[in-house]
Every structure is written in C-alpha cells, then in structure tokens.
Amino acid sequence: MVDVPRYWYNIVADLPVPLPPLVDPLDDEAAGDGLGSRIGLLVRILPSRLIDEEYTLSRLLPIPEPVREAYRRAGRPTPLLRAEGFERALGVSGRVRIYYKYEGALPTGSHKLNTAIPQVYYAKLDGAVEVATETGAGQWGLAVSIAAAMLGLKAVVFMTRSSYRSKKARRIAMETLGATVYPSPSEVTEAGRRALRENPGHPGSLGLAITEAIEYVLSGERRRYVAGSVLESVLTHQTVIGLEALEQLPEEPDYMVACVGGGSNMGGFTYPAIGMKLRGEGFERTRFVAAESAAAPRLSRGEYRYDGLDTGLVLPLARMYSLGKDYVPPAIHAAGLRYHGAAPSLSLLRRLGLVEARAYSQEEVAEAARLFARSEGLIPAPESAHAVRAVVDIARRAPEGTVIAFNLSGHGLMDTDAYEKLGVAGGGS
Ligand SMILES: Cc1ncc(COP(=O)(O)O)c(C=O)c1O
C-alpha cells in the first residue's frame, strides 16, 4: 500500500546547469513606484517558509506532519489507473498501454490542493489571518478556499472576469466555503481600476489577477499571497503526484505527459522521474511531453528570456518561456492554461531538450475529452483534456509495446457548461 510521501522532491538540486535566479526588473518600468526591490518585497508578500523553499538547493524537503495529515484527510495518495477502455476506444488495445494518475480524486477536483495546504499552513505560521490569490477557471481559488476553511483562515480570490462569468459553479463553491471572490480586473485595486479604464470589456488575465491579489496583500495587515503555479516551491509541493506515481507504476513509461498552465502539475508529475534520468538512475528512454493550449503556446512558440511573472511587475522577473507579460490570451474554456509564461525550471528543461511541447486548439481537445469521458466514465477538466489529446496523438502513432503515463490533473464536473458549448455533450457516441 502506497503512503503519502515523507519528502517533496526539488529538481533544482539535480539540474545540469544552474537555474537562472529571480531578479529585480531590469528596466525602469517598475522603479519609482515606491515598492522598491521586488526580491526584498517577497518577504511582505509570501509565507516565509515558502521563500525558504523557493531558494533552497536541497534535493529532498521534509513534508511537515500537519501537511501530511491534511493530505491524508483530503484523500492522498490518489489512484493510478490503467485506461483500458480508452485504449480500446483508440484502437490500440494490446499494442499500447496507457496509465493515468487521477488528481481529480481530491475534494477540490484537481491537483491544486497539494500546494494550497502547505502554503495556507505556512501563512498561518507567519500569523496571517487572510490569504489572497488569483484564479482562472477557479480550480486554484477553490483549492485555496478549501485549505483556508480547513486551517481557519479567510480566503480572498481575484478571478479572471471571463471565468467569473462562465464558471459560476466554482465561484459559488468558493463563496460557500467562506471566500470573497472578485472579478479581475476589479474595482478593489488600483491595477484593476486602471485596466478597466483602459478597456472596460477586459476579460482578465492571470498575470493581471496576480498583480491585483498582491496589491491587496500589501495594502493590509496579516495577509499573505499564495501562489497557484510557476514558483519552484509550488512545483516542488506538487511532486507528491510523481513520487506516488513512481511507487504505483507497474512499468517504466516511454512517455510521461501532462498539460501546462504555469507548469505545476507537469513538474509535479514528471520531476521525480526526470530527476532519476538526470542522475542516471532510470527513465533513460522516457520522453516528457508538455501539452499546452494553442491560445497560450509559450513553450512551443514563446521566447526564452527574463520576463515579468505578473502584468504589473510587482513580483520579480523570471527567466522563462514567455509570450510577454502583457499578453492577454483569448477567453478559452481551459482558463487554467491562460498564462503567458511557464515555470523557470520547466522552461530550462524545455530549453535543454529534456521536455517536449505540443499545443492544441480547444476543438482538438474537446474531441479527446469526449472520447476519454465515454470510454473511461470520467469527465476530464478542460485543462487536463490537453494531456488527453497529446496521449491520443502519441498512442495512435506508437509502435507495439509503447507505455504511456499521463496526469489527469482534474475532473470536469464543474466545467460541463464548457463541454456543452464545445459540443462535447450530447450527439450520441
Ligand atoms: C485541472 C487543472 N489542470 C492544470 C492546470 C494548469 O496549471 P499548472 O500548469 O500549474 O498545473 C490548472 C490550472 O488552473 C487546472 O485547474
């Protein structure tokens, strides 16, 4: 029986070249606004233990016992399942074996709880009474709302305006849990008011919602910002997925696949295996595939350079694949993938050729979601369905004996409106 891991894995310790550090803005754009050094500002924004984890070079980080306990209460370890129905539906039975790690089994419906719990716990250790954050489709905001309710803190969530309208069920779930949810751009912050002045119909972007959440934190006492993705510490927390998967997988896969928004479920699922590959301990032939949205294809078509993590440059700059911090992706249904950049470590691994990337349109993804739902009895989240789509492509071309493992980062039971609009619902088989 697999247990909740005792340690998280930090890939920074095993990277073949040093990870480019976070830096203060290189130009004057952010200077002179009274906030000063962005690196120095982090101590007023993030839980202090998260900052320690962000900069540590240790390979293994002990998971605090209260966090392990909360993981268990929430249902970890999550299952690793064989997708035999899906193999049949794809016509690859007997030729290709497909496994998936199912993070939708958590009460949040996605992997996001894996980092919400430790971050809210760390904020509480700092004496915070409120945590603030951004959210796209609402998966991350819901995870923070659940973790805050579990640990007795208040959650404030800036939800991209397009999702605030279209993902009503998640907004109401957050509010039911006691969270306050604002549509971003909002009237609550200067950054939000400015964006609305410039474009009253602004659909919101994750980059802007981050700026708003941080402005909110800096304008009050005993508040901390909690980060949904991109930071190394967040990817490290998510490695519970991959560490459990290594114990559960009956064979070494030829492919490991995950979707990418900021990179946290991809990093969480694949880094323990990539680490073994880097250390020469296994996974020599495994290919690691990132599935992203054609609406925000930064790993496929972005530039590798220093760029802002958020639109307002309140956070430091990170070296990453980016479409530009001001890029506003079209309002696709997989709102969790509407981010302009990707985590620095994932970007570096892509740069080094250890990670491949494929971008898909939402129509291509919808077709894969339909096939998976009808053959496995599980509705994937629109974000996770990008990984399903990549698996379809790989499996159909794969030679005899190919083994594919992918991360089903969340279920889509609260995204059925999207599937109705995309024509996935109805129409028979
Ligand atoms: C279910 C699900 N999968 C994936 C993602 C993408 O984020 P990340 O790349 O950090 O895993 C999100 C983001 O909201 C999500 O809700």
Q: Kindly list the structural domains of the chain, giving each domain's residue range(s) and its CATH number in brackets, ordered by start.
A: 7-63+112-225 (3.40.50.1100), 75-109+232-421 (3.40.50.1100)
Contact 371, 86 (CB under 8 A): yes
* Cα separation, 79 vs 7, whole angstroms: 19
Residues with Cβ within 8 Å of residue 337, at least 6 apart in sequence: 136, 259, 260, 261, 292, 293, 295, 296, 383, 386
- In this prediction, residue 29 carries a pLDDT of 62
Q: Is the CB of 142 under 6 A from ligand 1?
A: no
Whole-angstrom Cα Rg for the chain: 20
| Token pair in block for residue 125 | 């250790």
For ligand 1, what atom is nearest to the CA of residue 382? Answer: 1
From 110, 158, 347, 389, the mutation candidate for ligand 1 (largest count of ligand atoms within 8 A of CB) is 110
pLDDT (0 to 100) of residue 379: 97
- Distance from the CA of 206 to the center of ligand 1, in angstroms? 12
Q: What is the pLDDT along the chain (429 residues), one digit of tens a residue?
A: 899 999 999 999 999 999 999 999 876 666 667 777 888 889 999 999 999 999 999 999 999 999 999 999 999 999 999 999 999 999 999 999 999 999 999 999 999 999 999 999 999 999 999 999 999 889 999 999 999 999 999 999 999 999 999 889 999 999 999 999 999 999 999 999 999 999 999 999 888 999 999 999 999 999 999 999 999 999 999 999 999 999 999 999 999 999 999 999 999 999 999 999 999 999 999 999 999 999 999 999 999 999 999 888 888 999 999 999 988 878 777 778 888 999 999 999 999 999 999 999 999 999 999 999 999 999 999 999 999 999 999 999 999 999 999 999 999 999 888 899 999 988 765
- 106 touches ligand 1 (CB under 6 Å): no
Predicted pLDDT at 400: 98
- Could you tell me if the CB of 260 is within 6 A of ligand 1? yes
Q: Which helix (H) or strand (E) holds 389?
A: helix 384-397
Altogether, the residues listed in the chain come to a count of: 429
Which residue owns the Cα nearest ligand 1 atom 7? 261
What pLDDT is attached to residue 426?
Answer: 83
Q: From ligand 1's centre to the CA of 160, what distance in Å?
A: 14
Ligand 1 pocket, 139 CB below 6 A?
yes
pLDDT (0 to 100) of residue 295: 92
- Rounded distance, CA 359 to CA 243, Å? 27
Atom of ligand 1 nearest to the CA of 228: 10
Residue 74 has, within 13 A of its CA and on its CB side, a CA count of 31
Q: Is 104 in the pocket of ligand 1 (CB under 6 A)?
A: no
Cβ–ligand 1 contact at 115 (below 6 Å): no
Ligand 1: residue of 133, 139, 142, 160 to mutate (most ligand atoms within 8 A of CB) is 139
Rounded to whole angstroms, the Cα distance separating 262 from 238 reads: 12
For residue 141 and ligand 1, the question of a CB distance below 6 A is answered with no
CB–CB of 360/291 below 8 Å? yes
> Using an 8 Å Cβ cutoff, are 242 and 9 in contact?
yes
pTM value is 0.95
The predicted pLDDT at position 394 comes to 98
CB 328 within 8 A of CB 203: yes
Task: Tell me, in angstroms, the distance from the centre of ligand 1 to residue 141's CA.
Answer: 11
Distances (CA, A) of 211 to 35, 119, 135, 215: 13, 18, 12, 6
Query: Of all atoms in ligand 1, which is nearest to the CA of residue 139?
Result: 16
